[in-house]
Amino acid sequence: MRFGSIFDIDRKLSRLSELDEQSASAEFWESPEKAQVLLKERTTLQELINGFSQPLQAVQDALILAEMAEEENDETVLSEVEHTLNAVARSLEDLEFQRMFSTSVDASNAIVSINSGAGGLDAQDWAQMLERMYLRWCDRHGFKVDLADEQEGDEAGIKSATFAVEGKFAYGYLRAEAGVHRLVRISPFDANARRHTSFASVFVYPDIDDSIEVTIIESDLRVDTYRASGAGGQHVNRTDSAVRITHIPTGIVVQCQNERSQHKNRSTAMKILRSRLYALQMEQRKAEADALNSEKKDIDFGSQIRSYVIHPYRIVKDHRTGYEVGNTDAVLDGDLDGFMRAYLLATGADSDQSSAEGQRK
């Protein structure tokens, strides 16, 4: 049961029992939106509990088999036991990694926004390369992607793109990617084949549900409609269906043009706005907490987090964790798990240490 305390199974079982009691009450479905949120929480808890109990049962079964195999000197069964224990070790590693999802919104879907930065055409091309990298990563994990908005570049690439990612712990994983990404390569747009450095920023917001309240006053919004851009031909939208919403107090601007319906585009834009306002509130709270912390880390929002070097050598290095990979092609094709794991384990360890220090005080 030592592992049970590490993974906080008792607390999860207690919370699951509470949810079961609530769902059995007559008042549970009086608020369908709240009921759906609680049922989603219950499903996640049940999966986490099963993820612990199943490996534990497998270990107990393997120990029994090992005793029988030793008595009968059966090498085949011993090999099977070894295979089972290796599988259990991998399962426990995954559970340990999931402990790093420490924020209340890590289990949420994610909204990802990519913007080209300094570097002209190269930066716009780099932004599109990043978009493809994340879409490939989502495809590898079976996550659903819904493109909300994409602004084409002047001659190549994109100026910006925003898309929603739906999947288990989508935000928990992708929040490791927020920041400025730097590319060093021989520019395909330079006739003299010189080396260029390009920048693009990635912002990641939790797709928050109705259980989290974000107050938006209608009078604080400026809503503009315009004709959606496209590749031409029959796909050009001939009505002003695209929607741009400006939140006047904060200056946040969101837009959506992916749907043909203005109503659907407005709904999606409002959804993105709620998530961005929530993220802004979290950043402000963190800044206030950091101001009181004498050991504040020198990692500011929007700072360069990772470099992708294709020339004169090939390497991708995360400056926050020191994690690096020499196979740049694999990374740009969506092989990001190593970077995400290194970041989440590092930040999770910091969170655990802070929690322990707080308890000691």
Shared-domain flag, residues 198 and 215: no
Shared-domain flag, residues 258 and 279: yes
Q: For the segment 141-168, what is each residue's pLDDT rounded down to a tens digit?
A: 999 999 999 999 988 999 999 999 999 8
Is residue 36 a part of any domain in this protein? Answer: yes
For 187-247, what is the HEC assignment? CCCCCCCCEEEEEEEEEEEEECCCCCCCCCCHHHEEEEEECCCCCCHHHCCCCCCEEEEEE
Shared-domain flag, residues 181 and 314: yes
Shared-domain flag, residues 20 and 149: no
Is residue 224 a part of any domain in this protein? Answer: yes
Is residue 28 a part of any domain in this protein? Answer: yes
* 238 confidence band (pLDDT: 50, 70, 90): low
Is residue 298 a part of any domain in this protein? Answer: no
* 292 confidence band (pLDDT: 50, 70, 90): very low
Shared-domain flag, residues 13 and 80: yes
User: Would you say 321 and 342 are in contact if contact means Cβ atoms under 8 Å apart?
Assistant: yes
Shared-domain flag, residues 169 and 218: no
Select the more confidently predicted residue: 65 or 320. 320
On the CB side of 206, CA atoms within 13 Å amount to 22
Is residue 161 a part of any domain in this protein? Answer: yes
250 to 216, 253, 267, 283, 287: CA distances (angstroms): 11, 9, 20, 13, 16
- The last residue of a domain, from among 79, 98, 117: 98
- The last residue of a domain, from among 98, 120, 144: 98
- What is the pLDDT averaged over residues 66-72? 79
Local structure of residue 328 (DSSP, 8 states): H
Q: Domain tally for the chain? A: 3
Shared-domain flag, residues 116 and 185: yes
Q: For the segment 172-231, what is each residue's pLDDT rounded down to a tens digit?
A: 999 999 999 999 999 998 888 889 999 999 999 988 766 667 888 999 999 999 887 655
Q: Which amino acid makes up residue 341? A: R
Q: Which amino acid makes up residue 173? A: Y
Shared-domain flag, residues 203 and 216: no
Which tokens sit at 181? 């990404």
Q: What are phi and psi of 345, to 5 degrees?
A: -65, -40
Is residue 62 a part of any domain in this protein? Answer: yes
- What is the pLDDT averaged over residues 9-38? 82
Give the CATH number, domain containing residue 31. Answer: 1.20.58.410
Burial of 316 (0-12, 13-18, 19+ CB in 10 A): buried
Shared-domain flag, residues 148 and 230: no
Q: Which amino acid makes up residue 216? A: I
Nearest to residue 184, comparing CAs of 312, 66, 81, 73?
312
Is residue 7 a part of any domain in this protein? Answer: yes
User: How high does pLDDT run on average in the chain?
Assistant: 81
DSSP letters, 244-311, are: EEEETTTTEEEEE-SSS-HHHHHHHHHHHHHHHHHHHHHHHHHHHHHHT-TT--S--TT-EEEEEE-S
Shared-domain flag, residues 194 and 235: no
Can you give the residue range of the structural domain that contains 344? Answer: 106-207+303-361
Give the CATH number, domain containing residue 268. Answer: 3.30.160.20
- The last residue of a domain, from among 50, 73, 98: 98
Q: For the segment 29-68, what is each residue's pLDDT rounded down to a tens digit?
A: 888 877 877 887 788 777 777 766 777 777 778 888 888 8
Shared-domain flag, residues 288 and 315: no
Shared-domain flag, residues 320 and 278: no
Is residue 258 a part of any domain in this protein? Answer: yes
Q: Flag the least confident range among 55-69, 86-100, 162-176, 322-336.
A: 86-100
